[in-house]
Amino acid sequence: MADDINNPDSGNTGKKNEEDMSTSSLAAVAAGRQSHAPATQALGVGLEARGVHAWFGDKHVLNNISLDFWPGTVTALIGPSGCGKSTFIRTLNRMHEFIPTAALAGEVLLNGEDVYAAGVDVTKIRLKVGMVFQKPNPFPSMTIAENVLAGLKLAQLKVENKDDLLEECLERAGLWKEVKDRLGTYGGSLSGGQQQRLCIARSLAVRPQVLLMDEPCSALDPGSTLKIEETIQHLSSSVTVIIVTHNMQQAARVSDYTAFFLSDGGPGEMVEVGPTSEIFSRPKDKRTENYVTGRFG
Amino acid sequence: MSTTTVKPQKPWVASPKDRVESVLVFIVAIAISAVTVAVTPMKGKLAYVALFFISYLVLDYFFNRIKRGKAAGIDSVFRAIVGMAIAIAITPIVSILAAVWQRGHKGLHLSLFTTDMHSAAPSDPIINGGLLHAIIGTGLLVAFALVISVPLGILTALYLTEIRGRFTRPIKFLVQAMSGIPSIVAGLFILAAIVYPFTKAYNGIVGSLALSILMIPTVARTSEEVLRLIPSELREAGVALGGTQWRTVAMVVVPAARSGLVTAMILGIARIAGETAPILLLTGGGDSVNTNMFHGSMGSLPFYIFSGLTTGTDESITRAWAGILVLLVFVIVLFVLARFLGNRKVGK
């Protein structure tokens, strides 16, 4: 894709661009952001991972991750490629089991209840924990409007006023103004950035409590990336957002909390988690500091 | 406003001089082969073609080598070989089409499509009688086979691509093996399994059953290939929106593959439209229109062609060639339709 050449967000080039970026300037970005992080948080509310391990076949890819996601916050997962960030967020809405060889240990608590408990309806979990993928994937056989409302049909939900919901979701995804006159055209006719916002709108239509974003901007140009980041800022007041990103500036710009994942060749582990401004200004772990200052990775 | 006009050019295209030179090489090669045929004992069309090919290969190689170097010379040899291979592959197809048109068009007339043969004897003039009964028969046989095969074929493909259960490998193997079943075996199977124990008579539906055996593997394999092309991101997106697997397949995967599945269906029809052996065994023939699939023998285009050619009068042979022409046009139209639908962008 030609876009990748100028794309500061695509995995490899992204890190190169960060090399001249000092810790302090990222920290400044992070500090300048109005944080939604609440001072205290009642336990048992929101999404919590408790000792999550993951395997693909015999390969242990994720080791003992425990992480809480507060409602109304944005958490960024950063770390080099292959450290298990994407695998981890896919365990949160049970997309992990979509891969035939996948296995798992540990608990993921949504509002205090384990999503992997026996008898849990997996489709209900995925309704509450929505997902936006790395590559924009609008349904090719559906129009823009049908794409946004596809979740309702897929999950057989009833809605009083579809037009209002359509407008609301596209508005929240920051796409309404651009597409309101061509809701009947196919989703594939939009640009990559618009398609990704369409996918965000599609996820919002089923009113998820949590939205997982797996490198949502890695296939997009800087302008579209900025729009998605604005969208994330708007969403974070009503939805818990968890975003995997290779772009540390993005993590600093959009997130309240940052978790740093790393694999030393074995299973991926979480090195450190904390408020984003601290991760970028006073990381506790030397490895985190090396990574955020671009000294390795 | 700028007044300079830059003309779009294509510097990489061969210049007129280059083209004249290539044509000259071609003509010299023809001349060499003609002279060789005239002065040596090698005679006949085949010698002419073979000598032309060899002399063209050699001439073109040296011409390009002298002009542009060794690599270009070898390049030209490969180009000549590929061109010759295409010519050899296309020749039989074109000559079949030419032969069918040459002999078949004499039997074409408008009432061919409006009358049947029940009041026309084999030696009657061509203008008497037609193949309405055969067209209707083939249409019905194909339609019933379609109704049986398309759901089974597509569901099999969905098992192979979406469910991917424990039996995926053996079923995939069986489907591949089934697509090699000779049509006479499919006919004999239905004869032994259904006609002898139960119906004991010619009728249309048993013919359709045998055709289904031949059609299901084609539909299943083509559908499987089409469904495999649907990116797994779409399935993941559907499931991540809270859809069950069945709803995701029905609402996202199958609609995205729609035009490809239509192509699979058409290729299946084209596979069976001209099948003769099972029809001869199971459905028989007939000279008048029979629209009852469950009773009595039924005419069809392959049977019409078969009986016309074996009857042996000049008129019946001409009628058979007209039947071949109609059948061929029908199959070609289906293939063109399949290509057209297959090339359309998904979802448009």
How confident is the model at residue A19, as a pLDDT? Answer: 42
A36 in a structural domain: no
Cα gap B122→B115, rounded to integer Å: 15
B259 or B223, which is more confident?
B223
Q: How many interface pairs between A and B have CB atoms less than 8 angstroms apart?
A: 83
Average pLDDT over residues B195-214: 92
Q: How many domains does chain A have?
A: 1
Mind listing the pLDDT tens digit for each residue in A217-233? 988 888 889 989 999 99
Q: What is the CA radius of gyration of chain B?
A: 28
Average pLDDT over residues B203-211: 94
Mind listing the pLDDT tens digit for each residue in A203-212? 999 999 999 9
Cα gap B143→B200, rounded to integer Å: 23
Question: Best interface-test mutation with B: which of A141, A156, A157 has the largest number of B CBs within 10 A?
Answer: A141
How confident is the model at residue A128, as a pLDDT? Answer: 93
A40 in a structural domain: no
How confident is the model at residue A243, as a pLDDT? Answer: 96
Are A151 and B243 inside 8 Å of each other by CB?
Answer: yes
Are A155 and B242 inside 8 Å of each other by CB?
Answer: yes
Q: How far is B269 from chain A (nearest CA, A)?
A: 25
How confident is the model at residue A41, as a pLDDT? Answer: 47
Global ipTM: 0.81
A185 in a structural domain: yes
The CATH number covering residue A246 comes to 3.40.50.300
A28 in a structural domain: no
Q: Indicate if the pLDDT at residue A213 is higher than 60.
A: yes
How confident is the model at residue A45, as a pLDDT? Answer: 63
Are A131 and B346 inside 8 Å of each other by CB?
Answer: no
Average pLDDT over residues B259-286: 91
How confident is the model at residue A34, as a pLDDT? Answer: 54
Are A140 and B244 inside 8 Å of each other by CB?
Answer: no
Phi, psi angle pair for A270, to nearest 5°: -95, 115
The class that CATH gives domain B132-343 is: mainly alpha
Measured between CA atoms, the residue of chain B closest to residue A187 is B347
Listed residue (B207, B187, B55, B61) closest to B145, CA to CA: B207
How confident is the model at residue A9, as a pLDDT? Answer: 43
Q: Indicate if the pLDDT at residue B345 is higher than 70.
A: no
B346 touches B256 (CB < 8 A): yes
Cα gap A67→A214, rounded to integer Å: 17
Nearest CB to A188; choose among B164, B252, B347: B347
Are A141 and B164 inside 8 Å of each other by CB?
Answer: no
A112 in a structural domain: yes
How confident is the model at residue B116, as a pLDDT? Answer: 86
Residue A11's domain comprises: 2-18+45-292
Mind listing the pLDDT tens digit for each residue in B78-96? 999 999 999 999 999 999 9
Q: Indicate if the pLDDT at residue A25 is higher than 80.
A: no
Any CB–CB contact under 8 A between B329 and chain A? no
Domain with CATH 1.10.3720.10 in chain B: 132-343
Q: Around Cβ B68, how many Cβ atoms within 10 Å?
A: 12
- Which B-chain residues 210-239 have CB contacts (< 8 A) with chain A? 231, 233-234, 236-239
Contacting residues of A for B247, CB less than 8 Å apart: 153-156
pLDDT band at A5 (very low <50, low <70, confident <90, very high): very low
How confident is the model at residue B261, as a pLDDT? Answer: 93
> Quick check: helix, strand or coil at residue B1?
coil
A26 in a structural domain: no
Cα distances from A130 to residues A20, A214, A256, B258, in angstroms, run: 35, 11, 19, 27
- For residue B2, the one-letter residue type is S
Instruction: Name the pairing type of β-strands A74-78 and A257-262.
Output: parallel
Mind listing the pLDDT tens digit for each residue in B107-154? 888 888 888 888 888 778 888 888 899 999 999 999 999 999 999 999
How confident is the model at residue A23, as a pLDDT? Answer: 53
A125 in a structural domain: yes
Cα gap A174→A178, rounded to integer Å: 8
Measured between CA atoms, the residue of chain A closest to residue B244 is A123
A24 or A12, which is more confident?
A24
Mind listing the pLDDT tens digit for each residue in A99-125? 889 999 999 999 989 999 999 999 999
A94 in a structural domain: yes
Task: Tell me the pLDDT of chain A averaged across its residues.
Answer: 85
How confident is the model at residue B2, as a pLDDT? Answer: 58
Mind listing the pLDDT tens digit for each residue in A163-192? 999 999 999 998 999 999 999 999 888 999
pLDDT band at A16 (very low <50, low <70, confident <90, very high): very low
B339 or B140, which is more confident?
B140
Contacting residues of B for A100, CB less than 8 Å apart: 164
Nearest CB to B256; choose among A127, A131, A139: A139
A252 or B12, which is more confident?
A252
- Helix (H), strand (E) counts: chain B: 14, 0
pLDDT band at A133 (very low <50, low <70, confident <90, very high): very high
Mind listing the pLDDT tens digit for each residue in A26-73? 666 666 665 554 444 444 468 999 999 999 999 999 999 999 998 889
